[in-house]
């Protein structure tokens, strides 16, 4: 009888203890998030936005690299200033959120100019024995490049050595333009493949030139093939007076 009474007492205490308080789950605090572009071209501006849960808020903004990307502390308007990477931070009600931003040079436009050959060679299996003397004598020195760019991804149409076709590539961390592609060149009853490789160019403002004038400088390799024959030849070239036209 005593044992039964003790059991009833224990159950009553347990029921009272577990029945106290509010069993409803606690809602988590809303989290601060920000949104904006991951890439910008130099000269572009974009406004970043912040949300606390589903609600748009006005935080305080900052950039760890204002020389690369400056942000208005009140509005979140980001101005892309120079090649590089920056971290954009929003702070609101003791919470912070960050977004990584890459800024790259703007290579968009039509570029025209000339090339200068600095080296030429061939593999023994390449069928044109006198390739360098023959091709260099007939090689048009002009270059035209129509380039579009989305963030750090450029695509272009190149007109070179009597052939025209698409090339694509990337913007390197250094800000250099990298391109590659394959086109066909026809002449004298023969068609040869022309590969664009090792394209590394950058932009500069020529001394004494008008402010809008921008020149592309650098070098690239032309790799020539003559299917169905095996082997290849190459021409190393630099850009000469290649400028962006309006």
Who has greater pLDDT, 172 or 205? 172
From the list 142, 137, 133, 189, the residue with the least C-alpha distance to 162 is 142
Q: Which one is predicted more confidently, 8 or 44?
A: 44
Residue 134 pLDDT:
85
How confident is the model over 74-102, as pLDDT tens digits? 999 999 999 999 999 999 999 999 999 99
* 25 has pLDDT over 60: yes
Bridge partner list, 120: 235
pLDDT for 164 equals: 95
| DSSP-derived secondary structure for the chain | -HHHHHHHHHHHHHHHHHHSS--SPPPPPP-EEEE--SEEETT-EEE-EEEETTEEE--EEEES-TTTEEE-TTT-EEEE-SSEEEEEEEEETTEEEEEEEEEE----EEEEEEEEEEEEEE-TTSS-TTHHHHHHHH---EEEEEEEEETTEEEEEEEETTEEEEEEEEE-TTS-EEEEEEEEEEETTEEEEEEEEEEEEEEE--TTS-TT--EEEEEEEEEEE-TTS---EEEEEEEEEEEEE-
pLDDT above 50: residue 65: yes
Confidence of residue 210 (pLDDT cuts 50, 70, 90): low
pLDDT of amino acid 3: 39
- pLDDT surpassing 60 at residue 11: no
The larger pLDDT score, comparing residue 12 to residue 81, is at: 81
* Higher-pLDDT residue of 48, 245: 48
d(CA 35, CA 77): 12
Q: Are the beta carbons of 217 and 202 closer than 8 angstroms? A: yes
Of 10-14, 69-73, 181-185, the range with the lowest mean pLDDT is: 10-14
Q: Is the pLDDT of residue 2 over 60?
A: no
Rounded average pLDDT over 39-45: 96
Contact assessment for residue 162 and residue 222, using Cβ atoms and an 8 Å cutoff: no
pLDDT tens, residue by residue, 100-117: 999 999 999 999 999 999
- Residue 141 CA to residue 45 CA, distance in Å, equals 38
Q: Quick check: 9 pLDDT over 50?
A: no
Quick: pLDDT tens for 188-208.
Answer: 667 899 999 999 999 997 666
Q: What percent of the chain has pLDDT over 90?
A: 70
């Amino acid at each position: 009888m005593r044992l039964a009474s003790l059991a009833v007492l224990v159950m009553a205490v347990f029921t009272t203890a577990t029945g106290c308080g509010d069993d409803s789950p606690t809602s988590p605090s809303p989290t601060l998030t920000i949104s904006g572009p991951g890439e910008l071209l130099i000269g572009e501006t974009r406004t970043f936005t912040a949300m606390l849960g589903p609600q748009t808020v006005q935080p305080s903004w900052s950039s760890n690299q204002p020389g690369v990307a400056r942000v208005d502390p009140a509005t979140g308007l980001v101005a892309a200033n120079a090649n590089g990477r920056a971290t954009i931070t929003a702070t609101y009600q003791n919470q912070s959120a960050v977004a990584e931003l890459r800024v790259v040079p703007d290579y968009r436009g039509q570029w025209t100019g000339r090339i200068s050959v600095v080296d030429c060679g061939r593999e023994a299996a390449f069928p044109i024995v006198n390739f360098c003397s023959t091709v260099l004598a007939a090689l048009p020195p002009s270059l035209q490049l129509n380039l579009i760019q989305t963030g750090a991804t450029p695509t272009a149409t190149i007109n070179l050595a009597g052939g025209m076709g698409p090339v694509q590539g990337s913007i390197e961390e250094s800000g250099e333009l990298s391109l590659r592609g394959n086109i066909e060149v026809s002449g004298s009853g023969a068609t040869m493949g022309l590969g664009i490789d090792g394209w590394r160019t950058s932009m500069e403002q020529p001394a004494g030139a008008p402010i809008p004038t921008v020149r592309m400088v650098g070098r690239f390799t032309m790799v020539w093939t003559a299917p169905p024959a095996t082997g290849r030849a190459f021409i190393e070239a630099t850009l000469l007076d290649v400028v962006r036209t309006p």
